[in-house]
Amino acid sequence: PNYEHILTESHDKVGLITLNRPKTFNALSSDLFHEINDALKKFENDSSIGAIVITGNERAFSAGADIKEMLNQTFANSYKTNFLFHWGEINNIKKPVIAAVNGFALGGGCELAMSCDVIYAGETAKFGQPEIKLGLIPGAGGTQRLTRVIGKSKAMELVLSGRTFTAQEAEQWGLVSKVFPVGEVLEKAIELGQEFAGFSQPVIQAAKESVNSAYELSLREGCHFERRIFQALFSLNDAKEGKDAFANKREAKWTHD
Ligand code: HXC
């Protein structure tokens, strides 16, 4: 497809989306975000793709929403058009989405990374929710996702000061799962995606759905939900195949059904 602000390619079962507005540190204009959503949907509907990686460049994953685009925004207009609603579409993607973050991940950029299922970061990556400095607050889940992951005191400190935090801090707090040298992050993210893509797609989707339900449900409801999905998986050929392969000491051949 012909995109203006992103590049897409596939790497053996992994769809890669590269944010490509380098002059503005990959500021997330509406046009850019619509392209991300379109690319996500295309990879979601492509049965040869088992996981998706989103990345930027070495200077920036993304510096957030396009501030210039918001200069003349009004309450009435943003309310009428449900401004930023389309930022939530990534949460409906069933395949695993991995963020490979180098450089700045600020504001909406940090929120986009947090909307992914796994974050890998480069050693010099800088995260933050600086909206307070613009007279705004995070608007795409920042106050919610950051708080759930790193806790209230740290989230308050960061959101109310707009201070940035490092890749190492993010890893220590559990926001980022691993930190790599700058030049290796993308490769490692793609390898992780390929590992996910090597398993049964419906089972991977069930695992993702079940982990995500931990954010929505009480422990009792979450465990109930997990058990029901677990039970349902016995209806899949891939669950029969996986158990049979183990019992017969051979490698499983997934048919994704
Ligand atoms: C629009 C941006 C931008 C942004 C940078 N640019 N970030 N344009 N929206 N978010 C543009 C600058 O205007 C400038 O354009 C060019 O990119 C280079 O930026 P500089 O500031 O000159 O570079 P530098 O001094 O190296 O600083 C880099 C930076 C800084 C630390 C990333 O640009 C910065 O702080 N950006 C804003 C970060 C931010 O506040 N993000 C939150 C946005 S609000 P020109 O034309 O002058 O060369 C948000 C709300 C989320 O995300 C709500 C839900 C979506």
C-alpha of residue 146 to centroid of ligand 1, in Å: 21
Predicted pLDDT at 1: 76
Predicted pLDDT at 204: 98
Tokens of 98: 């991995």
Tokens of 129: 């929710």
Closest approach atom of ligand 1 to CA 130: 40
Whether 65 is catalytic: yes
Whether 111 is catalytic: yes
Q: Tell me phi and psi for residue 246, to 5 degrees.
A: -60, -50
Which residue CA neighbors atom 53 of ligand 1 most closely? Answer: 139
Predicted pLDDT at 30: 93
Which residue CA neighbors atom 24 of ligand 1 most closely? Answer: 25
Distance CA(257)–CA(254), nearest Å, equals 8
Predicted pLDDT at 62: 98
Distance CA(87)–CA(200), nearest Å, equals 28
Residue 110 identity (one-letter amino acid): C
pTM strictly above 0.95:
yes
Edge-first strand order for the sheet with 14-19 is: 6-11, 14-19, 51-55, 97-101, 118-122, 178-180
List strand residue ranges (DSSP E) for the chain, in order: 6-11, 14-19, 51-55, 60-62, 97-101, 104-106, 118-122, 126-128, 164-166, 178-180
Edge-first strand order for the sheet with 60-62 is: 60-62, 104-106, 126-128, 164-166
Distance CA(204)–CA(192), nearest Å, equals 13
Closest approach atom of ligand 1 to CA 106: 41
Pairing of strands 14-19, 6-11: antiparallel
Predicted pLDDT at 161: 98
> ipTM for the complex?
0.97
Tokens of 89: 């579409």
Which residue CA neighbors atom 46 of ligand 1 most closely? Answer: 24
Closest approach atom of ligand 1 to CA 64: 52
Residue 25 identity (one-letter amino acid): F
C-alpha of residue 25 to centroid of ligand 1, in Å: 7
140 three-state secondary structure: coil
Per-residue pLDDT tens digits of the chain, which is 257 residues long:
789 999 999 999 999 999 999 999 999 999 999 999 999 999 999 999 999 999 999 999 999 999 999 999 999 999 999 998 999 999 999 999 999 999 999 999 999 999 999 999 999 999 999 999 999 999 999 999 999 999 999 999 999 999 999 999 999 999 999 999 999 999 999 999 999 999 999 999 999 999 999 999 999 999 999 999 999 999 999 999 999 999 999 999 999 99
Distance of CA 60 to CAs 25, 54, 88, 156, 209, Å? Answer: 5, 12, 22, 24, 29
Whether 108 is catalytic: yes
Whether 221 is catalytic: no
